[in-house]
Amino acid sequence: MAEANSISGKDLQEMFTAATGWLEKSAADVDALNVFPVPDGDTGTNMLLTMRSSIEDAYQVANNSVSAVAQAIARGALIGARGNSGVILSQIWNGLAQGLDEKETMTGADLVQGLLLASRTAYNGLSNPVEGTILTVIREAAEAAEKHASEVSNDLISVMEATVEAARESVANTPTLLPVLKECGVVDAGGQGLYTILEGALHYLKGETEQLKLRRPWMVASSIPLTTRAPQMVGAEDEVPYGYCTNFVIKGAELDPEKLRRRLEKKGLSVIVIGDDSAVRVHIHTLDPGDIMHYVNHLGTLHQINIRNMDEQYRDFLEMQKERMPEVDTAIVAVVVGEGLSQVFTSLGTTIIVPGGQTMNPSTKDLLQAVEAVPSEKVIILPNNKNIVLTAEQVPALTEKKIHVVPTRTVPQGVAALLAFDYEADLETNTVSMYQAHLEVKSIEVTRAVRATRLGGLDIKKNQAIGFLDGDLVAVADKPEEVLNEVLERVEPDKAEVVTIYYGADTKPAEAEQAAASIRERYSQLQVEVVQGGQPHYNYIASVE
Amino acid sequence: MTVKIITDSLGDIPPGIAEELGITVIPINVIFGNINYRDGVDLTTEQFYDKLAASKVFPTTIVPSLGRYADAYDQVAEETGDIIVITNSHKLSASYETAVLARERMKKKCRVEVIDSLSAIMAQGLIVMAAARAAKDGARLDKILEGVRNNIPRAHIRMAFGTLEYLRRGGRIGKAKTFLGMVLKVSPILGIRDGEIYPFAREHSRARAIDYLYEFADGFTGIEGIGVEDVTTPGEAEELARRLQARFLGETIYRSRVGPAVGAHVGPRVLGVAVLGDRDQP
């Protein structure tokens, strides 16, 4: 089946069979991804069973037109749909069938048409479409197919390649759209399933049958890392699973899917109702499945009833998630203020951030709570401020957990310590190497004088910019940038490698960039990085390594 | 009868060594657009990386067919009745699966043992080279197999990365996804553990990342092989090899280059050190 500009109904059957086989190989991995809208935990299996039902119907068609086969696929998917994503998948094939209506064969242009309608039908089928799911993936894939066909080539394989590539990018991007995915560090399971199906279809179109046999689909990795939540968010109710995932089909006469959906939306969440006046498929998450069954029983006959407890699935899911992350048994609690700085610390692997810093010192209790909240028996605390080191050192005596404090007195020291964290090493080894690393960095802090004074041989007027080097006041000037430069001159910048400048909430990005540019100009060997720290009080915090 | 060793091209055996030790290397294919290149055969490493830098298309890699593996077995079976095939980690490619299945497609009668190195690039290469040396010295098949099994947990690799984007796109990032999305520009140090990519450390500059690689190798005893390899930065690799040579005076420091099939997944600027030996620290 290589090198074709259009395919027949028979080819479409086989393409779906190949795609289903491809999905089958990774169905278990897709199951493991599932978190949305509450963890059903079986998205891959549901999509696979939906696809199988499609194929069964597809092979009952005697007619060799793509139109007839696509309609059979859509019908099979509707009747066989399971779970949230299975139902949405059936809507997608329904749209595809509409796009291929009355077509004998499918060309690249027909595929584009089918995908666009698939996307539209999928969105229309839901009362509350959510981005960052399979919906986004089908939409972005369809848009990419359309763009490719009009701007590059409308050759069938070429269009399919563009579709698959766009689907992959879209899947990788789902965590940026859907916070629950970001928190779990996974991509959307339904999106991954759809991508895999499309990729399987592409392999078939390209005649790559041996690979379909031998290789396995790759799981798309999230484009953003796993982030850990702040302590106050632990146990937030938006993710607590509830009740039963309830699925069934009603067969009867004069059914009204619209009306039924409106009714069911009052009785549960994640409601999906699709079908026509003779058969309707329902998916709902509810606390009382009995009430739902009782309500729909009079509408017609019930088929394929499937009710599962989601709490059990959720527990299994959490267990599985644990296994998927690096087996780090040491957690890190850091005291940080400023959105940018918090991001820096989180992205470097801080488990919990306790907000605080200059003039906002957290209490021993605040730190203790954070230490107790982390899912680990061993914790390293980074106080990141000289006024907090002592507070942090009170914590080990107050908890059963094993706590080490690396006495970081500045933000740059905290970052240097964090970078030295070794994922392989134990608590003791890490404490030693982080301690060593925090000594090896020079910290510059630039702020404004709150009153006039004379200190360290410097005459300081109120509101002038003052600069500290490792906690010692060493420079004063009218502009913060002047002070930054003056302090930098004291640390032999011609021998340093990296300068990182974190600019504060009151500093304009352009000013920070200009300061960095002037440093680069004077010291061409320096790698100067500018990061929005967002910290209050300090115009600049900089590290020199 | 001498045992013969076969491996895939993902082990980055240094140029000349395969011939010297009588190792048969099966090239892994790289696909750019619609064109299929055999690793190291149709495309030199230089040409590949020029193409990678210039192309907007993302290359993919494909393990050759069962038939290609079976042909290689049959060809080697002309000379011997005992073959050991050492493959790339099954978590990183389909080489192991293919190598196992290919045995049934062989025409000749020959004992073929397939072992998963649970590794890649020169860590895999060093395991293969040690096996080939034993074979050349006349060791029997079972003895060599035992040696390979012992060496698998002793082969370590660390790589300093320029970017993790290629790994992410290729789907092989494994647990190193923890390192994605860092706000600061840091050099991630990754390695292979339990057959997959694993995050080990981060350094704030390239120079420090290279120091890390040196110190990593420095922590070994009982060394049976050290390899240094680069993707597009041979100068850095030469310098690091020189430093390591000064530290390990009696050892040969093997220099190699990451082949295109792996290069497509790790991207330019990866610099790696592989050691076969015993680590001082756990």
Q: Which of A349, A348, A353 is nearest to A335 (CA)?
A: A353
Contact assignment for A214 to B186 by CB distance below 8 Å: no
B178 touches chain A (CB under 8 A): yes
Cβ neighbours for B89, distance < 8 A, ≥ 6 positions apart:
B96, B116, B117, B118, B119, B120, B124, B192, B195, B196
Residue that finishes a domain, picked among B93, B124, B153: B153
pLDDT (average), residues B209-233: 95
Q: Which of B177, B179, B193, B212 to mutate to test the interface with A (most CBs of A within 10 A)?
A: B177
Q: How many CB pairs under 8 A join A and B?
A: 96
A125 vs B155: which has the higher pLDDT? B155
Nearest chain B CA: its distance from A187 CA (Å):
12
Q: Which of A153, A218, A347 to mutate to test the interface with B (most CBs of B within 10 A)?
A: A347
B57 touches chain A (CB under 8 A): no
| A531 and A462 housed in the same domain | yes
| B166 and B235 housed in the same domain | yes
Bridge partners, residue B190, by sequence: B159, B199
The total number of structural domains in chain A stands at 4
Q: Is residue A365 part of a domain?
A: yes
Average pLDDT, chain B: 90
Which residue segment(s) compose the domain that B140 sits in?
A: 4-27+63-153
Residue that finishes a domain, picked among A251, A283, A316: A316
Q: Is residue B47 part of a domain?
A: no
The Cβ-side half-sphere exposure at A484, using a 13 Å CA radius, reads: 27
CB < 8 Å to A422, chain B: 200-201
Contact assignment for A500 to B184 by CB distance below 8 Å: yes
| B140 and B161 housed in the same domain | no
- Name which of A185, A215, A325 is nearest B94 (Cβ-Cβ): A215
- Name which of B62, B181, B199 is nearest A211 (Cβ-Cβ): B62
Contact assignment for A531 to B184 by CB distance below 8 Å: yes
| A161 and A46 housed in the same domain | yes
Q: What distance in Å separates the CA atoms of residue A44 and residue A445, rounded to the nearest whole number?
A: 52
pLDDT (average), residues B150-169: 92
Q: Which of A195, A342, A424 to mutate to test the interface with B (most CBs of B within 10 A)?
A: A424
| B273 and B228 housed in the same domain | yes
Q: Is residue A234 part of a domain?
A: no
Tell me how far apart the 2 most distant CA atoms of chain A are, in Å: 96
Residue that finishes a domain, picked among A422, A439, A456: A439
Which residue segment(s) compose the domain that A301 sits in?
A: 240-316
Written in H, E and C, the secondary structure of chain B is CCCEEEEEHHHCCCCCHHHHHCEEEECCEEEECCEEEEECCCECHHHHHHHHHHCCCCCEEECCCHHHHHHHHHHHHCCCCEEEEEECCCCCCCHHHHHHHHHHHCCCCCEEEEEECCCCHHHHHHHHHHHHHHHHCCCCHHHHHHHHHHHHHHEEEEEECCCCHHHHHHCCCHHHHHHCCCCCCCEEEEEEECCEEEEEEEECCHHHHHHHHHHHHHCEEEEEEEEEEECCCHHHHHHHHHHHHHHCCCCCEEEEECCHHHHHHHCCCCEEEEEEEEECCC
| A495 and A532 housed in the same domain | yes
Residue that finishes a domain, picked among B153, B183, B214: B153
| A362 and A420 housed in the same domain | yes
Which CATH number do you get for residue B274? 3.30.1180.10
Task: Provide the pLDDT for residue A398.
Answer: 87
| B112 and B181 housed in the same domain | no
Q: Which of B182, B210, B211 to mutate to test the interface with A (most CBs of A within 10 A)?
A: B182
- Name which of A223, A415, A416 is nearest B168 (Cβ-Cβ): A223
CB < 8 Å to A172, chain B: 168-169
Which CATH number do you get for residue A288? 3.30.70
| B174 and B137 housed in the same domain | no
Task: Provide the pLDDT for residue A383.
Answer: 95
- Name which of B183, B201, B281 is nearest A347 (Cβ-Cβ): B183
Contact assignment for B178 to A326 by CB distance below 8 Å: yes
| A360 and A496 housed in the same domain | no
| A157 and A192 housed in the same domain | yes
What would the pLDDT profile of A6-63 be if each residue is shown by its tens digit? Answer: 999 999 999 999 999 999 888 878 877 755 334 445 788 889 988 998 998 998 888 8
| A95 and A165 housed in the same domain | yes
**Chain A interface residues (partner B, CB cutoff 8 A):** 165, 168, 172, 185, 210-211, 214-216, 218-226, 324-326, 340, 343-344, 347-349, 415-416, 419-425, 429, 497-498, 500, 527, 529, 531, 545
Q: What distance in Å separates the CA atoms of residue B276 and residue B152, rounded to the nearest whole number?
A: 9
Q: Is residue A235 part of a domain?
A: no
B100 touches chain A (CB under 8 A): no
CB < 8 Å to B182, chain A: 225, 347-348
Q: Is residue B50 part of a domain?
A: no
| B12 and B126 housed in the same domain | yes
Task: Provide the pLDDT for residue A319.
Answer: 53
Task: Provide the pLDDT for residue A209.
Answer: 77
Using CA atoms of A291, A297, A301, A303 in order, give the dihedral in degrees to the nearest 10.
0
| B12 and B117 housed in the same domain | yes
- Name which of B172, B173, B178 is nearest A349 (Cβ-Cβ): B178
Contact assignment for B177 to A222 by CB distance below 8 Å: yes
Q: Is residue B236 part of a domain?
A: yes
Task: Provide the pLDDT for residue A222.
Answer: 62
| B189 and B72 housed in the same domain | no
Task: Provide the pLDDT for residue B124.
Answer: 98
Contact assignment for A325 to B178 by CB distance below 8 Å: yes
Contact assignment for A527 to B205 by CB distance below 8 Å: yes
Q: Is residue B244 part of a domain?
A: yes
CB < 8 Å to B202, chain A: 348, 419
Q: Is residue B194 part of a domain?
A: yes
**B201: nearest CA in chain A?**
A422
Residue that finishes a domain, picked among B153, B179, B198: B153
Contact assignment for B184 to A348 by CB distance below 8 Å: yes
| B158 and B188 housed in the same domain | yes
- Name which of A214, A416, A423 is nearest B97 (Cβ-Cβ): A214
Residue B49 vs residues A122, A303, B64, B220, B236: alpha-carbon distances, Å = 42, 58, 21, 32, 17
Contact assignment for A348 to B168 by CB distance below 8 Å: no
Contact assignment for A423 to B200 by CB distance below 8 Å: yes
Q: Is residue B202 part of a domain?
A: yes
Which CATH number do you get for residue B107? 3.40.50.10170
Q: Which of B8, B60, B98, B180 to mutate to test the interface with A (most CBs of A within 10 A)?
A: B180
| A507 and A392 housed in the same domain | no
CB < 8 Å to B158, chain A: none
Confidence check: pLDDT of B35 > 80: no
The total number of structural domains in chain B stands at 2
| A182 and A155 housed in the same domain | yes
Q: Is residue B268 part of a domain?
A: yes
| B20 and B135 housed in the same domain | yes
Task: Provide the pLDDT for residue A324.
Answer: 44
Q: What distance in Å separates the CA atoms of residue A476 and residue A467, rounded to the nearest whole number?
A: 6
| B14 and B80 housed in the same domain | yes
The share of chain B scoring above pLDDT 70, in percent, equals 97
Nearest chain A CA: its distance from B73 CA (Å):
19
| B148 and B205 housed in the same domain | no
Contact assignment for B66 to A529 by CB distance below 8 Å: no
pLDDT (average), residues B233-251: 95
What would the pLDDT profile of A78-122 be if each residue is shown by its tens digit? Answer: 877 776 788 889 999 999 999 999 999 999 999 999 999 999 999
Which CATH number do you get for residue A117? 1.25.40.340
Q: Is residue A418 part of a domain?
A: yes
DSSP characters for A356-414?
-BTTBPPPHHHHHHHHHHSS-SEEEEE--STTTHHHHHHGGGG-SSEEEE----SHHHH
| A86 and A209 housed in the same domain | yes
| A205 and A353 housed in the same domain | no
Q: Is residue A272 part of a domain?
A: yes
| A517 and A530 housed in the same domain | yes
Edge to edge, the sheet with strand B253-257 lists B196-203, B187-193, B155-160, B271-279, B220-230, B253-257
**B206: nearest CA in chain A?**
A497
Confidence check: pLDDT of B30 > 50: yes
**A218: nearest CA in chain B?**
B171
Q: Which of B167, B85, B139, B4 is nearest to A172 (CA)?
A: B167
- Name which of A172, A220, A423 is nearest B199 (Cβ-Cβ): A423
Which CATH number do you get for residue A480? 3.30.1180.10
CB < 8 Å to A151, chain B: none
Low-confidence ranges of chain A (pLDDT < 70): 1-4, 34-41, 83, 183-185, 214, 221-242, 310-328, 359
B216 vs A346: which has the higher pLDDT? B216
| A478 token code pair | 């009218």
Q: Is residue B39 part of a domain?
A: no
